Amino acid sequence: MTEKRTRRRFTAELKAQAVKRLLEGRRSLSEVAIELGLSTGQLSTWRTEQLAAGSAEALAARRAEEAEAQRLRRKVKRLEEEKLILRKAAFFARGIA
């Protein structure tokens, strides 16, 4: 009878560490895969997924920064308008008093 082979499960932390070792550049994909007991295809897939996730995170961060910059520009414009109104009010108030 053949034994039922269980599928190995890897934590996100292990995947991240494996990809980090690979991206450090000191060893090749196959060397890192052998060292960790993985197939080169699996490690390559993890690398691709992590790089894609990293660029998605960078894009989200960039969009958040752009939104914040736009919000601040609107606030500056509003405050400049308020300053102008107050300056005009102070000028007219001087003439009345």
SS3 65: helix
CB atoms within 10 A of CB 27: 13
- For 20-40, the pLDDT digits (tens) are 888 887 888 998 899 889 999
Domain coordinates in residue numbering, the chain:
12-96
The whole-model pTM stands at 0.55
- For 40-87, the pLDDT digits (tens) are 999 999 999 888 888 888 888 889 999 999 999 999 999 999 999 999
CB-CB contact of 29 with 40 (8 Å): yes
* Cα 83 to Cα 97: distance, rounded to the nearest angstrom: 21
Strand spans (E) along 1-97: none
User: Which residues touch 38 (CB under 8 Å, ≥6 apart)?
Assistant: 18
Burial of 42 (0-12, 13-18, 19+ CB in 10 A): middle
